[in-house]
Structure 1
Amino acid sequence: MSHPVPRAAALTAAVALFTGLAAAPAHADTATQRQRDFAAAATEFGVPQNILLGVSYLESRWDTNAGTPSTSAGYGPMHLTDLREAGVAGTHHDEGTEDARGDDARPATHPQAGPAAPPPTLQTVDEAARLLRTDAKTLRTDPAQNIRGGAALLAKYNTGNNWYDAVARYSGSTDQAAARTFADEVFDTVKTGITRTTDDGQQVTLSPTPDLVVPQHPDPNPAGVECPRRVTCESVPAPYQELPKDDYGNHDLADRPNSQKIDHIVIHDTEGYWANVLDLVQDPTYVSWHYSIRSADGLIAQHVPTKDVAWHAGNWYVNAKSIGIEHEGFAAKGTWYTEAMYRSSAKLVGYLSRKYGIPLDRAHIIGHDNVPGTTPATIPGMHWDPGPYWDWSHYFDLLGAPLGGFGLPGSSLVTIDPDFAKNQPAFTNCDGPGTTCVPRGSEAVVLHSEPSESSPLLVDIGLHPKGTASTMAVDDVGSRAATGQRYAVAEVRGDWTAIWYLGQKGWFHNPRNARVAKPAIGWVVTPKPGLATVPVYGRAYPEPEAYPAGVTVQAITPLPYTLAAGQKYSSGGTVGSEYYWATTFDPANHVVVKGKLKYVQIQFGHRIAFVKADDVRIVPAF
């Protein structure tokens, strides 16, 4: 349960805030247009400029995002929301053929969910338009007017000369604790200051206010919720419930990490709005995940204890050894993720990585799009969220584990790390088949079959069984390297670099003055001498002899790819073979099967994969 901010504390915060504002230096005359727009709007509506800048940063990082809506229907630097324009979508759990559970020992799960009514908080553009006597389209498309609209709303929300409460209300959250968390993040940003270049090339500076007092609150989180301090979490339990026909849902009880080590955290997006997502995870006939994070204010809801196994990744081996986190948002519709959500997510992932010893790298903090198919038949239906517009580089900066730049020049291993704002692949199908996506920043680097932009993309025989080349469709990950992933260099020709990818050379433009890949250090795997090829797998299952009586042996099925002699792939570490037998409602009958067989996780294509340790050599990259 959340509690309101005590009035005395709020007033004290307001006094401290104004003290800090008085000390804030004026911006130089060299400020760019965006900077001047903030200054003008702050003066016009009587809003402290650093508060206006701080709120905008927590919403959009001062970006325009090419006029596209955020994952919670917000537009422009001030994130004015307009659900009418952004539209309503369902949930990605209803799309494709992926079985979220991904366990061959149980029937596939393909539940369907109906649309939900969107929340009224996603329509602030109308109120701003009334205050400015303009129209919603102007506020969505004109950055200067968008900033004026946000300033007008803040001024209206400032009752009792209390800017802290005004900022909290601006979050749009109906949960007071979550609104306070948003305001705390704004105040922290105002206190420390920040400078960055926006996605449209504007230089904006929020000068630090080091003597600003950020209000302190008791931990608002209910007992039993696994969350870090300084974020707001709530408990929205997913039901473990017996169903007809010897079925049950929507997750499995376990005893991790005592029973199985947790190796991965899987980042998802919901493809639906908050209320609908929470309804789904509370349906015993549906699927599950451990946490959801709200876009507008970063509120975290926990659904499944981390000791238990949720059904979220479409691969039972990965499910049994991972924690799944859903983010309110959309992978394809040209949408962007708010800074408030990025920050809450990074705090949660940092907390979980420390708790379970999960490395903060892209071999272990993965997207749903990096989870491998279990067999050749399941590859085409695997999901591909959070999509190419999730900013992995910024996310890892927030985690305190920045990507790239740690290897020596000429290293045979590279980390993909393009400039997110400048890297704008020409994707299609964001708004339906045949449509062209709005050009905007992306974490994805597109690979070609030759060192030329006009050459075909690579062939992913798993995604395209007929052997046709991959496409620029936003959901086609068959010829796409993701930020933070590490690959072995196959060849360099001038400004072009080739990496080993799905058994092929994947070429990308990597000019010296605008690198999209940086030298890395680490280990790579290659077939042992005498082996022309080795099989590649989507899960690390035990040898048949490891299964006790009464537990069905799971097939070790290779994927339709091979790792050939002379090729190298980045190692994500050696793992033991495991299978979690959980087919009954009573967890007393569940068994963790552990074999003698060892595997090595590799970065094989866009998705991770596994090879048997006995088949490969692990050598340092030079």
Structure 2
Amino acid sequence: MPMSSRSFPRTAALAAAITLLTGLAATPAQADPTQTRQHDFAAAAAEFGVPENVLLGVSYLESRWDVNGGTPSTSAGYGPMHLTDLREAGAATSHHDEGTEDPRGDDARPALHPKAGPATPPQGLQTVDEAARLLNTEAKTLRTDPAQNIRGGAALLAKYHAGRPDWYDAVARYSGSTGAAAQTFADEVFDTIRTGVTRTTDDGQQVTLTATPATTTPQHPGNPANVECPRSVACESVPAPYQELPGDDYGNHDLANRPVSQKIDHIVIHDTEGYWDNVLDLAQDPTYVSWHYTIRSADGLIAQHVPTKDVAWHAGNWYVNAKSIGIEHEGFAAKGTWYTEAMYRSSAKLVGYLARKYGIPLDRAHIIGHDNVPGTTPATIPGMHWDPGPYWDWSHYFDLLGAPLGGFGLPGSSLVTIDPDFAKNQPVFTGCDGAGTACAPRGSEAVVLHSEPSETSPLLVDVGLHPKGTPSTTEVSDVGSRAATGQQYAVAGVSGDWTAIWYLGQKGWFHNPRNARVAKPAIGWVVTPKPGLATVPVYGRAYPEPEAYPANVPVQAITPLPYTLSAGQKYSSAGTVGSEYYYAVTFDVADHVVVKGKLKYVQIQFGYRIAFVKADDVRLLPAF
């Protein structure tokens, strides 16, 4: 959405920070090949007269210095400096218009299947051309050669700095934004410079940005009074319409009074499958669906559409919708395969703020992806969406949230947290650029499961996704035989370097060698059927018993999913929840009713998606 430009404040803090950006001379080439990228930053900084820590800071906010296998980001950026080239990346199509998911997921209303239309990429996604002109080289070179990519980013920063008294405005302009969003990007860069960072990149390069202390920190921009955002991010209001429509219909969300009426239990992470301007147009369409926030890829700008007290139509499961906040991230689950650091940081600050406000635990049972939301009935499972996809870095995201994953249990624990090394974990998926086509090798949060402790054994059977009983596939959209980073599972067996977990009623095996663990011991609680019960039903929503409904509210069926949870099997518990149903089928909120029952459920990690079992059917046991 266009924003008005404004000048940036020249605070004493910024002046102090800039004056400390010293030591700009290029360092000699390192003999250690893992130091090559560090040398590339130093050489480019010296060549174009850019402070080395400014160059490093900008690159970190874009890519964390990674090359991402030469693949584009979700906003068409390439290489450590995120030089954008939409011509090469291509305009992605939307999986949100595929399948049969009803975003509302409420059986009391007709299914909703609006079409988004084509996604029009913004003109700004073509910075590689400007950098190529400055270096008198080809765009392909800047996309594929990390050293040249860094030179291109340095050349752009130098151009943006020309005639300016300091580097703040140049950094802000590099974000591709104006106004508060650009200022927030620059603040994040200089905050990173102040704190410093050292990491090993996805291709094994050791890079260090040495901390440059400052006496104070920059002033973060203020936000409008009508948005629910932390002060440290740029946030704007782009309201979604609550509007009557012809045919006794209305859109595009439901008014509520959460958390007074219902506790908010989950935050659902989505990707937009569209570009910023298109997505914001959709958010303002009363005939379309809704979500609470959208976050922009290039700079982390946040737009709020629906107040968090109200219920948005975003997750395909009405129980989850009524108990969650939905956050969309500009990008594509498959076509573009990595998300910018600016987006991760902005999103983590927002989620941390919301989690504190509503008492939502910072774990993967409550901070979930759209791909972790269960189907409501057997019929809806195949059409459920699978964003943000296997390339969302949950481990890094939870580090930013201040709630790192894994490593809290004792060796030999009966419960594990999935936590592979994101960069090194590169399962082979297909379908990113067409059915059956191999996706480019990329770091991933997903761990693929096998039916036996062998790479050659078939994948598991997900009878919800594959009703004919055929094994799951390696298609990027097929989540039927994979575990996600941060999720916890009960151990079902160990065979050499292989570990099995209980998963959809089966043993799912994954390679877990001592020198490269992809799962860490955990502590927590597990559920197992009560003695005397051979199996217990599993559900996609925690609806009340029929007796709880008042006469004017239709009873909602408690429909089991097509899976088996048998005696002897154990599944990680996220705690007991009450049964609830929010009856909201009319525009007049006076007709809306929150039905709360006596029936209790336990949320479990049953497969890739969460699920619910009746508390009376299971025992809760500690796992150590």
* Residue in structure 2 matched with residue 363 of structure 1 by the alignment: 365
* Residue in structure 1 matched with residue 160 of structure 2 by the alignment: 157
Partner of 1:22: helix, strand, or coil? coil
1:119 CA drift (Å):
1.1
Deviates more, 1:330-339 or 1:71-80: 330-339
CA contact (8 A) 1:20 1:212 kept: no
Task: Give the distance between the partners of 1:134 and 1:26, measured in 2 at CA.
Answer: 23
Partner of 2:39: helix, strand, or coil? helix
Identity of aligned residues (%): 85
The alignment yields a C-alpha RMSD, in angstroms, of 1.4
The reply to whether residue 166 of structure 1 matches residue 164 of structure 2 is no
Task: Give the distance between the partners of 2:165 and 2:125, measured in 1 at CA.
Answer: 26
Task: Give the distance between the partners of 2:35 and 2:22, measured in 1 at CA.
Answer: 23
Partner of 1:37: helix, strand, or coil? helix
| Match runs of 1:292-303 below 5 Å | 292-303=294-305
| Match runs of 1:68-107 below 5 Å | 68-107=71-110
Cα deviation digits, residues 465-494 of structure 1 (max 9, x gap): 000000011000000000000000000111
* Residue in structure 2 matched with residue 198 of structure 1 by the alignment: 201
The answer for unaligned runs of 5 or more in structure 1 is none
The answer for unaligned runs of 5 or more in structure 2 is none
Count of paired positions:
618
Partner of 2:339: helix, strand, or coil? coil
* Residue in structure 2 matched with residue 119 of structure 1 by the alignment: 122
* Residue in structure 2 matched with residue 558 of structure 1 by the alignment: 560
Partner of 1:558: helix, strand, or coil? coil
The reply to whether residue 17 of structure 1 matches residue 17 of structure 2 is yes
Partner of 1:366: helix, strand, or coil? strand
* Residue in structure 1 matched with residue 132 of structure 2 by the alignment: 129
Cα separation, partners in 2 of 1:583 and 1:7, compared to 1, 3 Å? closer
CA contact (8 A) 1:414 1:486 kept: yes
Q: TM-score when scaled to structure 1?
A: 0.97
Cα separation, partners in 2 of 1:144 and 1:596, compared to 1, 3 Å? same
| Match runs of 1:492-507 below 5 Å | 492-507=494-509
The reply to whether residue 147 of structure 1 matches residue 150 of structure 2 is yes
Matching residue within 398, 413, 431 for 1:411: 413
1:136 CA drift (Å):
0.7
CA contact (8 A) 1:92 1:272 kept: no
Matching residue within 357, 374, 377 for 1:375: 377
**What letter matches 1:108 in structure 2?**
A
* Residue in structure 1 matched with residue 543 of structure 2 by the alignment: 541
* Residue in structure 2 matched with residue 338 of structure 1 by the alignment: 340
| Match runs of 1:229-268 below 5 Å | 229-268=231-270
Partner of 1:169: helix, strand, or coil? helix
Q: TM-score when scaled to structure 2?
A: 0.97
Partner of 1:536: helix, strand, or coil? coil
Task: Give the distance between the partners of 2:9 and 2:356, measured in 1 at CA.
Answer: 36
Task: Give the distance between the partners of 1:7 and 1:539, measured in 2 at CA.
Answer: 50
Task: Give the distance between the partners of 2:576 and 2:476, measured in 1 at CA.
Answer: 32
**What letter matches 1:170 in structure 2?**
Y
Cα deviation digits, residues 565-604 of structure 1 (max 9, x gap): 0000000110000000000000110000000000000000
Partner of 1:620: helix, strand, or coil? strand
Task: Give the distance between the partners of 1:40 and 1:514, measured in 2 at CA.
Answer: 35
* Residue in structure 2 matched with residue 443 of structure 1 by the alignment: 445
1:387 CA drift (Å):
0.3
Matching residue within 479, 482, 494 for 1:480: 482
Cα separation, partners in 2 of 1:459 and 1:253, compared to 1, 3 Å? same
Task: Give the distance between the partners of 1:593 and 1:148, measured in 2 at CA.
Answer: 61
**What letter matches 2:174 in structure 1?**
Y
Task: Give the distance between the partners of 2:96 and 2:564, measured in 1 at CA.
Answer: 30
* Residue in structure 2 matched with residue 316 of structure 1 by the alignment: 318
* Residue in structure 1 matched with residue 48 of structure 2 by the alignment: 45
**What letter matches 1:298 in structure 2?**
G
Matching residue within 458, 461, 478 for 2:460: 458
* Residue in structure 1 matched with residue 401 of structure 2 by the alignment: 399
Partner of 1:434: helix, strand, or coil? strand
* Residue in structure 2 matched with residue 54 of structure 1 by the alignment: 57
Partner of 1:513: helix, strand, or coil? helix
Task: Give the distance between the partners of 1:297 and 1:283, measured in 2 at CA.
Answer: 25
1:370 CA drift (Å):
0.2
**What letter matches 1:283 in structure 2?**
D
Task: Give the distance between the partners of 1:228 and 1:23, measured in 2 at CA.
Answer: 35
Deviates more, 1:325-334 or 1:553-562: 325-334
**What letter matches 1:484 in structure 2?**
G
1:213 CA drift (Å):
4.9
1:17 CA drift (Å):
3.2
Cα separation, partners in 2 of 1:618 and 1:14, compared to 1, 3 Å? closer
CA contact (8 A) 1:24 1:207 kept: no
Partner of 2:516: helix, strand, or coil? coil
